[in-house]
C-alpha cells in the first residue's frame, strides 16, 4: 500500500520519515564533501601548474603524489588511508558509522583518522535535516541543499587555502538567479540588486582598505560569495549578513590573538564567516530581526 503513495504525500503524512531520509542523505553527501574539500584544490593546483609549465615551456617533473596517482579527480583514486594507501572497502566507507566502529583508526595500519571527516559528515547531516524541516519536500529544498553543501565546501577550502573557488561560487550565484526568476524566495528585482550590491560593497571596502594601508584586506572571492548570497536572498539580506559575519569574525579574530597569541598580521579568511552568516540568515532571518528590535528598541 505504501508503495502506491507518491513520495511527496508520504513525507507529508510522515514528516519524521523525511527527517530520517534527510539525515541519511546529509551524511552520505558529507562524506563526498570531504573528498571535494581535499581534492578540488589539489586538482586546480595541478591544472595551474601544468598551464604554467606549458606557457613557460618548462619540463613537467611530476611529484611523488602525481606518480602514485596519475589519475586524480573526484572519483579516482578511490578512498584510501593517506598513511598506508589501503583502499577502503564499502563497509569501511559508511559515513560516520565506520569511523565509530573502527574507533577512529585505519582498519589496516591503525593510524588515527582525522576527526575532521566525521565532524563534516555530522554537520552536513544536521544542516540537511534543518533545511528539510524548514522547507519540506520540494524542488526548492533541493536547491537550498545544494547551496548549503556548497557553503560547507567553500568554508573549509577557504579555511585551508584562503581560496573561494569560482568553480563553486559562480554556479551557486546562477542557481540563485534561476530560483528567484520564479520568485521562490524573493523577487527578481531584489536579487538583481543583491548581486550588484553584494559584489560592490566588499569591492569598495577592499579598495578603501588598500588605499589606506597598502594591504589587501580580503580576496576577490569574498566579493563573489556575497554576490551569490545576494542572488539567493536579495539586497535586503545583505546588511544582516555583513553585520553578522563581521561581528563573528571580529570576535573569533580577537579571541585567537588574545587566547592563542596568534600573530595579528596573519590573514584570517573571511569566507567562512560570510558562508555561516548567509546560512543563518537564510533560515532565521526573521528571528534575527525580531531579536535585533528586542535588544535595541
Give per-residue pLDDT as tens, 193-244: 999 999 999 999 999 988 988 888 788 999 999 999 999 999 999 999 999 9
Q: What is the pLDDT confidence band of residue 259, given thresholds at 50, 70 and 90?
A: confident
Cβ neighbors of 123 (< 8 A, separation 6 or more) are: 30, 152
Question: In the predicted model, what is the mean pLDDT of the chain?
Answer: 87
What is the phi-psi region of residue 188: left when phi exceeds 0, alpha when psi lies from -120 to 50, beta otherwise?
alpha
DSSP character for 164?
-
- Predicted confidence at residue 61, as pLDDT, reads 59
- The three-state secondary structure class of 112 is strand
Predicted pLDDT at 76: 79
**Residues 129-171: pLDDT tens digits?**
999 999 998 899 999 999 999 999 999 999 999 999 999 999 9
**pLDDT of 266 over the 50 cut:** yes
Please tell me the predicted confidence (pLDDT) of residue 53. 78
* Whole-angstrom distance, CA of residue 199 vs CA of residue 184: 22
Does pLDDT of 70 surpass 80?
A: no
Rg (CA), the chain: 22
Tell whether the model's pLDDT for residue 58 goes beyond 70. yes
Quick: pLDDT tens for 160-199.
999 999 999 999 999 999 999 999 999 999 999 999 999 9
Given this model, what pLDDT does residue 226 score?
Answer: 97
Distance CA 176, CA 195 (A): 10
Q: Which candidate, 291, 283, 275, places its Cα nearest to that of 228?
A: 275
User: Which pLDDT score is estimated for 4?
Assistant: 44
Amino acid at each position: 500500500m505504501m508503495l502506491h503513495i507518491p513520495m511527496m504525500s508520504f513525507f507529508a503524512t510522515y514528516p519524521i520519515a523525511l527527517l530520517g531520509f534527510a539525515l541519511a542523505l546529509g551524511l552520505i553527501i558529507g562524506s563526498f564533501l570531504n573528498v571535494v574539500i581535499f581534492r578540488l584544490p589539489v586538482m586546480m593546483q595541478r591544472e595551474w601548474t601544468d598551464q604554467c609549465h606549458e606557457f613557460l615551456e618548462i619540463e613537467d617533473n611530476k611529484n611523488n603524489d602525481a606518480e602514485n596517482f596519475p589519475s586524480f579527480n573526484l572519483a579516482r583514486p578511490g578512498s584510501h588511508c593517506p598513511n598506508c594507501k589501503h583502499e577502503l572497502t564499502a563497509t569501511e566507507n559508511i559515513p560516520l558509522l565506520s569511523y565509530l566502529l573502527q574507533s577512529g583508526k585505519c582498519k589496516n595500519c591503525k593510524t588515527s583518522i582525522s576527526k575532521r571527516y566525521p565532524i563534516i559528515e555530522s554537520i552536513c547531516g544536521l544542516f540537511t535535516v534543518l533545511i528539510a524541516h524548514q522547507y519540506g519536500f520540494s524542488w526548492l529544498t533541493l536547491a537550498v541543499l545544494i547551496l548549503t553543501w556548497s557553503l560547507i565546501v567553500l568554508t573549509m577550502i577557504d579555511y585551508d587555502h584562503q581560496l573561494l573557488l569560482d568553480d563553486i561560487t559562480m554556479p551557486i550565484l546562477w542557481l540563485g538567479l534561476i530560483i528567484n526568476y520564479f520568485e521562490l524566495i524573493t523577487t527578481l528585482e531584489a536579487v538583481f540588486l543583491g548581486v550588484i550590491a553584494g559584489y560592490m560593497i566588499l569591492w569598495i571596502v577592499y579598495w578603501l582598505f588598500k588605499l589606506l594601508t597598502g594591504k589587501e584586506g580580503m580576496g576577490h572571492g569574498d566579493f563573489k560569495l556575497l554576490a551569490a548570497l545576494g542572488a539567493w536572498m536579495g539586497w535586503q539580506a545583505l546588511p544582516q549578513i555583513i553585520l553578522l559575519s563581521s561581528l563573528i569574525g571580529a570576535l573569533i579574530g580577537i579571541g585567537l590573538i588574545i587566547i592563542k597569541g596568534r600573530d595579528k598580521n596573519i590573514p584570517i579568511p573571511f569566507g567562512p564567516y560570510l558562508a555561516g552568516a548567509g546560512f543563518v540568515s537564510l533560515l532565521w532571518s526573521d528571528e534575527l530581526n525580531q531579536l535585533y528590535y528586542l535588544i535595541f528598541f
